[in-house]
Structure 1
Amino acid sequence: MSNFIVKKVAVLGAGVMGAQIAAHLVNARVPVVLFDLPAREGPKNGIVLRAIENLKKLSPAPLGLKDDAGLIRAANYEDDLALLKECDLVIEAIAERMDWKHDLYRKVAPHLGTDAIFATNTSGLSITALSEGFDAELKARFCGVHFFNPPRYMHLVELIPTEATQPAILDRLEAFLTTTLGKGVVRAKDTPNFIANRVGIFSILAVFAEAEKYGIPFDVVDDLTGSKLGRAKSATFRTADVVGLDTMAHVIKTMQDNLQDDPFAPVYRTPAVLKSLVDAGALGQKTGAGFYRKEGKQIKVLDARTGQYVDAGGKADEIVARMLKKEPAERIKLLRESGNPQAQFLWAIFRDVFHYIAVYLDQIAGSAADVDLAIRWGFGWNSGPFEDWQAAGWQQVAQWVKEDIEAGKALSKAPLPEWVFAGPVADNQGVHSAQGSWSPATQSFIGRSALPVYRRQAFRAALKGSDAVDPRKAGRTVEQNDAVRIWVCEGQDDVLVISFNSKMNTIGPDTIDGLIRAIDLAESAYKGLVVWQPTSLQLGAPGGPFSAGANLEAAMPAFMMGGAKGVEPFVKKFQDGMMRVKYAAVPVVSAASGIALGGGCELMLHSARRVAALETYVGLVEVGVGLVPAGGGLKEAALAAARAAQAAGSTNYLQFLTQRFQNAAMAKVSASALEARQMGYLQAGDPIVFNVHELLHVACSEVRALHEAGYRPPAQGELVPVAGRSGIATIKASLVNMRDGGFISAHDFLIASRIAEAVCGGDVEAGALVSEEWLLALERRAFIELLGNPKTQERIMGMLQTGKPVRN
């Protein structure tokens, strides 16, 4: 089989989506050329250059590192079309106008490479219609590739072929999107708005209709339809504001224009309130006003009755909130039977979506799995609509939906298809089974894609009702207790894995014991150990926390009995555990995603290698609770500075220490794994994985590679030069200015001073050689001293009670 290596990509169109797609390609280190029209004034590439500059200002940040914006090559359609010959993939991402796209295609088609894949990033236009005018050879290489906004963060990409698209083209593109760009790919049929927007926008229109019917304000709707339903925190109307109300109106219009004979056509009318906002230029977040508006620090919400903005903050009725905490079957039953308008509203929006996906499954998707995954990944639901229906009791819910249709309560009179009530789905009590997911076209349950790229995913995103293995219970358990599980993957007995069982994977004394036990076991019979947390890989968008750090609550009993000194054994045990990780005879590899804070960061720092998902947020954040890092994080900063100075032939150790000191003193957390590497929390040889489902595979591969290369741990007993008392004095001088200028508090000054003393090696001469044990003792002493300080205790209690840092 020949390799498909994407050496360069062209993106046509430097608008919001085009520029951010280019940014994410750069994140993945794929060379990219960004095209747009030649500017009428100034540099010809001015339009693109302004778009590239704007990437640095956007939030959430499209770039893992802002400076990487300079890696995007600017081009225009007048001078630079010859560059297209060098590109293996060309993605068109201009405005959603069929005529404009065709005009551009005529211009660029002669310049495309003979083997290049040509794709359009459209949110709903017909891919077949867009391909009209192409010769047969180009039609075979053309498809739709629909990224969701923002492209860096949204997991979903829809891949849409025409009947002429070569299957091999789709397979190659799916593999590239999955591994290189880290996406969850769903193949959609070439129907208006494809899968996610078709179902997702319908669900939003249903919310509009039912909220108006039951008289529920927009902020209350958002409280009902957000995290309480296991959906995106931004819920319905906040999401609309983020997406852009003009964008939403455009997607709705696509449904209006192309689904005129649809039995749900009346639902596709643009809601009057949405039209009035768009007409007024209130397009949501990008214009500062939509369904919500920020006035100073106050959030206002639109009152649908008056058209005025009023104070936001409306909440679900307590009785309804309690219903939503019940198991699916009881929840749906309670909502349907309740007389509470909010409960009736929720039953109605569940019913409307169940009705819609059953009627249209055959037209829009290959199987029910495609619908559920598209909605989960594209709209941030923890479970897809078919999963919700199946979990609530397939036949009972189907009967209730049927009754509402017949009673005229539903949004359409279209009957549910026969397969809902009879045959394999009814027998299985749902669309997901051990054999796969229901496909009306084949009248059978079909499995997920078996492309080779998915062999890299030890645990693919699971569907409720399928036979997917729970990663928290998978493989063969070697040992397990309340703190940790030590296990091996199915059929891979050469690498040991440890997973933590605590909330947010915090690290307490029992976790350290488990980690040391796992290292002992790995040294006796395995090539190495991987620290990997399976949390959240099955639900919603993937990527659970690696570790939120040391478990402060676990240390409270020792503090209550012996004060600050009573906690010293816990701190020493944590340090000893990290040293055991560092000097293990076999490689210990940390596989991180999500947050890796405090002790979680220190565990990474002491590992033989780190494998991090792009969306890994790493930092030493102990100052937030009035403490200093004391698990060896500051010690590792001192060692890294000494190595960097020696490599540069310098004795100015402070020069190489300053940034590392600031990272800890300011509790700076990386905004990506790329930035974590820049901050020194990842090394140059540590892989960054874009698809979090591949994290475990890559980490195990790293263990095997290190083993095959004859891994030996670092030499113990190393003495390193430190910045000493002169370095401490220099840092403290700048801290005094910050304190006296009111930029930091007196307690912040004290904490930062203790950090400076630890990273500079204490009260010794500059260049003095000290051991790791010396540096660890400095950390430990500073930690215990601060723990006894009342202001630190205020910060700890505030964090434990509210989850938010106290500034004092």
Structure 2
Amino acid sequence: MSNFNVKKVAVLGAGVMGAQIAAHCVNAKVPVVLFDLPGKEGTPKNGIVLKAIENLKKLSPAPFGDKADAELIQVANYEDNLDLLAGCDLIIEAIAERMDWKHDLYKKVAPHIAQNAIFASNTSGLSINKLAEGFDDELKARFCGVHFFNPPRYMHLVELIPTTSTKPEILDQLETFMTSTLGKGVVRAKDTPNFIANRVGVFGILAIIHEAEKFGLSVDVVDDLTGAKLGRAKSGTFRTADVVGLDTMGHVIKTMEDNLPNDPFAALYKTPAVLSGLVAKGALGQKSGAGFYKKVGKDIMRLDAATGEYVAGGKKADDIIARILKEKDPVKKMKALRDSTNPQGQFLWAIFRDAFHYIAIHLESIADNARDIDFAMRWGFGWNVGPFETWQAAGWGQVAQWVKEDIEAGKALCNAPLPAWVFEGKVGEQGVHTPDGSFSPATKSYTPRSDLAVYKRQEFRAPVVGGGGADPKTAGVTVHEDESVRLWHTGDDVLILSLKTKMHVIGKGVIGGIQRGLAEAEKNFKGLVIWNTDAAEGGAFSAGADLQEALPAFMAGGAKAVDPIIKELQDTFMSMKYSNVPVVAAVAGIALGGGCEMALHASKRVAALESYIGLVEVGVGLIPGGGGLKEAAVRAAREAKGNDILQFLKTGFTNAATANVSKSALEAKAMGYLKEDDIIVFNAYELLHVAKTTARAMADAGYRAPIQRPVPVTGRYGWGTIRGQLVNMRDGGFISAHDYKLGDMIAEIVSGGDIDQGSVVSEQWLLDMERKAFLELLNHPKSQERIMGMLQTGKPVRN
């Protein structure tokens, strides 16, 4: 396939979605022009777009990986700048959901679209074929739907929707760009109202509202039942609707009502009375301050549907139901809900039954195969397990029988029977997912995974229950495995170290594993990659040192007994830094404290965009003790190149003293936790491939261990300067006396201590200072309060 390189993107429409899509393109270093209407007379011509970019900087969660990149969005309006479209390879329209407005805009822009550019609409549910009406054949062939989910930076799903005329290679090119450059999970949908995720998801919300009324459950109880306990977004159902906006919800429901009059479930596609009542009052959810919930002072009140008033919220699931939901065996869990006499149990069985009934009936018309529905719900709605996967795991045949009985008994939402394929052949025996692929009713066969070249970059693709595929926990050849680590390889000269501890914390076992991995890699491999098997599924790189493990040693022998543990950690990280083979840290998720220090001591870092890196030890009343401060001093000295080191030390000092954590890998670069030449990967499923390729390239280029250099430091001049600022902060009441002590200790270490400015020290000198300060703090009652607070509540104590 010829290379399709997106050199520039245009986004039409600077509303909430358009502006955020533009921001995410900039995150990925893709130049972008953001268009909107020209400002009214007497206002700046590009005022609408400029205002939208200002708003992006305030949004939370942040659309930009690094706010400073906001200036990279090129601003434009439809009156003066249509000529800019000629230089764009991809044009994404993201204006309001009105067919007539979209058509007017298309007439205006079509003459300016380049010959080979792809034109796409980010509509969330309008017909893509109808949108393409009026295009010439040439443009029709390059037009499709590309539906991002909100917020576009964080939601993994993008739905691609072709028209009857879209050229297949257009979709392949777009899927490749979305997957690798923007880091998305792509699902191809058919051109039906609301496509896949919103169609199934909105039906699910309507079914939940219907069943909740039937079983008399309040919104807070429903949210507790349908949130994290079901492995779905922790905001549950009604809270999620408030966040999305009740007017938006109403709009999506109306699309179904208007366009699906003959659907067996059509009776359900009406805006529920409770929802239209709220919208009529202007209670649109979070954006208007009230919806199903309302914040009054510090209290969250819930809507009482019967009276329309807000009452105290916070009610939870009944204990007996919470216990059923903890059951690990999906077969037992589903049976217990089906057999339950508790209204909450009956409600949960009902919403599962409704979902299974719906997806079985609609699979053929909305998706190519069952896998696409599962991925759409996982990636677009934040479910841990998709609906077909849930059904199959709970025992396909038995559940199908139960659903059939409920339909026949008139308990289901409609009387349409389950399609025959549910009970026939291989599907009837085992379900819709097999190692050969996932069931497609249209072809009566199992559709294999896409074989686009971009997926060769994903050594372990997103799995589906029953879908086979290699499990990264057991794949490849194991060199060594214990309860803390696994050392393994896939036959390509790179050794992989995967941590197995909870949150991948670093204790004795992990330290031993790193030492063993280094020895093994130096003897038999080209490099070592530190990569965790849950990196693409939101796991941690490492939450830091295992405080719990060091506690017994401390209790028995005080700080002295912890000294050898810290020394070994420091020595192990130093042997990583000065290893004879390249060590690549494949970072994704949180890398805090010791986890951050482990990454800092690798030869190179390959980080997923969503990497949250920082030295957070002051939160537990300690200072970084594994070489984090030493690295801040070393890096400042390198960057200063003979200039005043103190200017370059400020960032490293401030980050550690305030426990500042990057909100993305891009920000981690700006903070100095990632170096300029470290690599940022947008699709976490590609992390292992890029890390291994990087290690091999470094080895092939003749990698040698760096030579240890002496470190010039600022000495008492730097220490005194920083201390002066800390005194002001303490005396002004901005920090506590103990915060001052911690800050002062950090300042002493990064400046090399009570020695002359311009003195030169070794890395070991700085490590010894770190260790001494760390052990002194372990004995300090205020630090002990912070440590115990964190171990008991998981929250930092301010003292």
The 5 A counterparts of 1:252-263 are 252-263=253-264
1:674 matched to which residue of 2?
666
Partners in 2 of 1:66 and 1:301 — Cα distance?
Answer: 35
The question of whether the paired residues in 2 share the 8 Å contact of 1:457 and 1:697 is answered with yes
1:380 matched to which residue of 2?
382
The question of whether the paired residues in 1 share the 8 Å contact of 2:193 and 2:256 is answered with yes
Partners in 1 of 2:417 and 2:152 — Cα distance?
Answer: 37
The question of whether the paired residues in 1 share the 8 Å contact of 2:439 and 2:446 is answered with yes
The 5 A counterparts of 1:455-494 are 455-489=456-490, 492-494=491-493
Partners in 2 of 1:180 and 1:662 — Cα distance?
Answer: 33
Partners in 2 of 1:312 and 1:637 — Cα distance?
Answer: 48
Q: Does 1:36 align with 2:26?
A: no
Amino acid across the alignment from 2:746 = I
Amino acid across the alignment from 1:431 = V
The question of whether the paired residues in 2 share the 8 Å contact of 1:644 and 1:656 is answered with yes
Q: Does 1:622 align with 2:622?
A: no
Partners in 2 of 1:281 and 1:103 — Cα distance?
Answer: 30
Partners in 2 of 1:225 and 1:419 — Cα distance?
Answer: 29
The 5 A counterparts of 1:131-530 are 131-326=132-327, 327-427=329-429, 429-489=430-490, 492-530=491-529
Amino acid across the alignment from 1:400 = W
Partners in 2 of 1:305 and 1:711 — Cα distance?
Answer: 71
Partners in 2 of 1:564 and 1:235 — Cα distance?
Answer: 46
Q: Secondary structure at the match of 2:358?
A: helix
Task: Compare 570-579 and 724-733 and name the one that shifted more.
Answer: 724-733
Partners in 2 of 1:464 and 1:790 — Cα distance?
Answer: 50
> What are the Cα deviations for residues 632-671 of structure 1, in whole angstroms up to 9, with x where unaligned?
000000001111111xx41x22111011100000000000
Amino acid across the alignment from 2:370 = A
1:424 to partner: Cα distance: 2.0
> What are the Cα deviations for residues 592-648 of structure 1, in whole angstroms up to 9, with x where unaligned?
1000000110011111000000000000000110000010000000001111111xx
1:445 to partner: Cα distance: 0.9
> What are the Cα deviations for residues 519-554 of structure 1, in whole angstroms up to 9, with x where unaligned?
1110111110000011264xxxx3311000001111
1:12 matched to which residue of 2?
12
Q: Does 1:645 align with 2:640?
A: yes
Partners in 1 of 2:169 and 2:514 — Cα distance?
Answer: 45
Amino acid across the alignment from 1:672 = S
Partners in 2 of 1:550 and 1:485 — Cα distance?
Answer: 18
Partners in 1 of 2:152 and 2:14 — Cα distance?
Answer: 14
Which of 734, 759, 770 is residue 779 of structure 1 equivalent to?
770
The question of whether the paired residues in 1 share the 8 Å contact of 2:535 and 2:589 is answered with no
1:732 to partner: Cα distance: 1.3
Q: Secondary structure at the match of 2:335?
A: helix
The question of whether the paired residues in 2 share the 8 Å contact of 1:119 and 1:144 is answered with yes
Q: Secondary structure at the match of 1:567?
A: helix
Partners in 2 of 1:469 and 1:202 — Cα distance?
Answer: 34
> Please, what is the CA RMSD of the aligned residues?
0.9
Q: Secondary structure at the match of 1:68?
A: helix
Task: Compare 474-483 and 363-372 and name the one that shifted more.
Answer: 474-483
Q: Does 1:56 align with 2:57?
A: yes
Partners in 2 of 1:22 and 1:260 — Cα distance?
Answer: 36
1:662 matched to which residue of 2?
654
1:805 matched to which residue of 2?
796
The question of whether the paired residues in 2 share the 8 Å contact of 1:424 and 1:444 is answered with no
Q: Secondary structure at the match of 2:493?
A: strand
> What are the Cα deviations for residues 660-684 of structure 1, in whole angstroms up to 9, with x where unaligned?
1000000000000000000000011
1:297 to partner: Cα distance: 2.1
Partners in 2 of 1:447 and 1:495 — Cα distance?
Answer: 29
2:539 matched to which residue of 1?
544
Partners in 2 of 1:468 and 1:305 — Cα distance?
Answer: 50
Task: Compare 304-313 and 256-265 and name the one that shifted more.
Answer: 304-313
Q: Secondary structure at the match of 1:256?
A: helix
Any stretches of 5+ residues in structure 1 without a counterpart? none
> What are the Cα deviations for residues 137-173 of structure 1, in whole angstroms up to 9, with x where unaligned?
0000000000000000000000000110000000000
Partners in 2 of 1:366 and 1:69 — Cα distance?
Answer: 38
Amino acid across the alignment from 2:174 = L
Q: Secondary structure at the match of 2:252?
A: helix
Q: Secondary structure at the match of 2:595?
A: helix
Amino acid across the alignment from 1:51 = A
Partners in 1 of 2:284 and 2:611 — Cα distance?
Answer: 32
Amino acid across the alignment from 1:616 = S
The question of whether the paired residues in 1 share the 8 Å contact of 2:535 and 2:541 is answered with no
Amino acid across the alignment from 1:54 = N
Which of 687, 698, 721 is residue 706 of structure 1 equivalent to?
698
1:493 to partner: Cα distance: 2.9
The question of whether the paired residues in 1 share the 8 Å contact of 2:715 and 2:752 is answered with yes
- TM-score by length of structure 2 reads 0.99
Q: Secondary structure at the match of 1:493?
A: coil
1:312 to partner: Cα distance: 2.0
> What are the Cα deviations for residues 108-139 of structure 1, in whole angstroms up to 9, with x where unaligned?
00000000000000100000000000111000
- TM-score by length of structure 1 reads 0.98
> What are the Cα deviations for residues 261-302 of structure 1, in whole angstroms up to 9, with x where unaligned?
111001111011111111222211222221122223222221
Partners in 2 of 1:309 and 1:705 — Cα distance?
Answer: 62
> What are the Cα deviations for residues 314-357 of structure 1, in whole angstroms up to 9, with x where unaligned?
10000000000112111111111111011111000000000000
1:572 matched to which residue of 2?
567
Partners in 2 of 1:9 and 1:286 — Cα distance?
Answer: 30
1:437 to partner: Cα distance: 0.4
Structure 1's consecutive aligned runs of 4 or more residues displaced over 6 angstroms after TM superposition are: none
Aligned-residue identity in percent: 68
1:711 to partner: Cα distance: 0.6
> What are the Cα deviations for residues 372-406 of structure 1, in whole angstroms up to 9, with x where unaligned?
00000000000000000000011111111111111
1:553 matched to which residue of 2?
548
Q: Does 1:597 align with 2:592?
A: yes
1:510 to partner: Cα distance: 1.4
Which of 604, 615, 621 is residue 609 of structure 1 equivalent to?
604
Any stretches of 5+ residues in structure 2 without a counterpart? none
Amino acid across the alignment from 2:335 = K
Partners in 1 of 2:215 and 2:184 — Cα distance?
Answer: 38
Amino acid across the alignment from 2:146 = V
1:793 to partner: Cα distance: 1.0
Partners in 1 of 2:320 and 2:305 — Cα distance?
Answer: 25
2:712 matched to which residue of 1?
721
Amino acid across the alignment from 1:588 = V
Partners in 2 of 1:408 and 1:546 — Cα distance?
Answer: 50
Q: Secondary structure at the match of 2:494?
A: strand
Partners in 1 of 2:243 and 2:301 — Cα distance?
Answer: 15
1:126 matched to which residue of 2?
127
Q: Secondary structure at the match of 1:382?
A: coil
The 5 A counterparts of 1:96-111 are 96-111=97-112
Partners in 2 of 1:224 and 1:748 — Cα distance?
Answer: 41
Which of 615, 627, 633 is residue 628 of structure 2 equivalent to?
633
2:752 matched to which residue of 1?
761
Amino acid across the alignment from 1:423 = G
> What are the Cα deviations for residues 737-787 of structure 1, in whole angstroms up to 9, with x where unaligned?
111222111111111111111111111111110000000001000100001
1:770 matched to which residue of 2?
761
Partners in 1 of 2:798 and 2:109 — Cα distance?
Answer: 57
Partners in 1 of 2:417 and 2:605 — Cα distance?
Answer: 54
1:311 to partner: Cα distance: 2.2
